[in-house]
């Protein structure tokens, strides 16, 4: 999981501050409720929401474009495309901005995939370069990823995390279980504490095919 580390220390507002106009609502073809603004058990944001994207979602193009911008054009971890075989089985998740500017824009991405029954991985986690000062986007994406998998029978949730982001994940109730090198960059294999990430009620789609 390649995570772009934001610099802001702002962790958002209390859960009760999610705006009434967004809870519930429908925007950009997505149903939005209070849990879509959830960042942790004690924090939320009225500026960003986090969504599992279906194949027909109008936001799918923005999801792929942001992934390409981060992992190909910016980090140069891939040459032409960052898509791989896992995308045929992975579930895409996007962070959506609700501010006056860039309203409805995809500003964060992550994918989750079940490698074997009960074993889930997160990956391709990144934040748009213009929004990295908002550290709640990364927290919200991680929360949405792990709670969604946990609601679908996850027994372990793992991710490979760049060395500079290990402490960030540790503060979000992850532990390091191994060290490794990927494309010449030091990473830690980390595991989420599923007791912290309450299972989501998000329904698991029957059809995928978003790659």
Per the structure block, which two tokens stand in for 21? 């106009």
* Tens-digit pLDDT profile for residues 170-201: 999 999 999 988 878 889 999 999 999 999 99
State the pairing for strand pair 106-116/156-162: unpaired
Closest CA to 83 of 98, 75, 94, 71: 71
Do you find a cis peptide bond into 13, omega within 30 degrees of 0? no
pLDDT over threshold 80, residue 86: yes
The SS3 call for residue 204 is coil
Does some domain include residue 37? yes
pLDDT computed for residue 82 by the predictor: 76
**Which of the residue ranges 43-52, 145-154, 192-201 would you say has the lowest mean pLDDT?**
43-52
Does some domain include residue 40? yes
Percent of the chain beyond pLDDT 70? 83
Does some domain include residue 10? no
Does some domain include residue 7? no
pLDDT over threshold 90, residue 58: no
pLDDT over threshold 50, residue 3: no
φ/ψ (deg, to 5) at 50 = -130, 125
Does some domain include residue 9? no
Does some domain include residue 96? yes
Quick one: pLDDT band at residue 207, thresholds 50, 70, 90?
low
- Write down the H helix ranges in 48-200: 60-68, 135-151, 166-171
As a whole number of Å, the CA-based R_g of the chain is 16
Number of domains composing the chain: 1
Could you give the CA distance from residue 190 to residue 193 in angstroms, rounded to a whole number?
10
* Tens-digit pLDDT profile for residues 88-109: 899 999 999 987 776 789 999 9
Does some domain include residue 204? no
- In the chain the beta strands, taken as DSSP E runs, fall at 25-27, 30-32, 38-40, 43-44, 48-52, 91-97, 106-116, 119-127, 156-162, 174-182, 185-192
Residue environment code for 65-96, b if the CB has 16+ CB neighbours within 10 A, otherwise e? ebbbbbbbeebeeeeeebbeeebeebbbbbbb
Q: Any idea what the CATH number is for the domain that residue 54 is in?
A: 3.40.630.30
Could you give the CA distance from residue 170 to residue 190 in angstroms, rounded to a whole number?
9
Contacts of 9 by beta carbon, 8 Å cutoff, 6+ apart:
135
Quick one: pLDDT band at residue 8, thresholds 50, 70, 90?
very low
Q: For 52-72, what is the mean pLDDT?
A: 89
Give the mean pLDDT of the chain: 82
Residue 167 structural domain: 15-192
Does some domain include residue 199? no
Quick one: pLDDT band at residue 44, thresholds 50, 70, 90?
confident
């Amino acid at each position: 999981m390649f995570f772009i580390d934001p610099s802001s220390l702002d962790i958002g507002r209390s859960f009760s501050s999610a705006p009434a106009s967004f809870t519930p609502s429908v925007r950009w073809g997505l149903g939005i409720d209070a849990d879509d603004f959830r960042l942790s058990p004690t924090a939320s944001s009225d500026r960003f929401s986090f969504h599992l994207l279906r194949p027909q979602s109008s936001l799918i193009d923005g999801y792929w474009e942001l992934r390409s911008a981060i992992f190909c054009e910016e980090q140069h971890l891939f040459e032409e495309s960052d898509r791989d075989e896992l995308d045929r089985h992975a579930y895409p998740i996007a962070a959506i901005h609700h501010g006056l500017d860039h309203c409805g824009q995809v500003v964060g991405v992550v994918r989750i995939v079940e490698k074997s029954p009960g074993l889930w991985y997160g990956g391709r986690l990144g934040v748009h370069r213009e929004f990295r000062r908002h550290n709640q986007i990364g927290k919200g994406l991680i929360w949405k990823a792990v709670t969604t998998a946990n609601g679908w029978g996850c027994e372990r949730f793992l991710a490979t995390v760049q060395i500079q982001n290990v402490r960030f994940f540790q503060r979000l109730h992850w532990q390091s279980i191994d060290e490794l090198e990927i494309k010449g960059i030091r990473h830690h294999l980390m595991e989420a504490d599923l007791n912290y990430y309450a299972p989501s009620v998000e329904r698991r789609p029957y059809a995928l095919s978003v790659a």
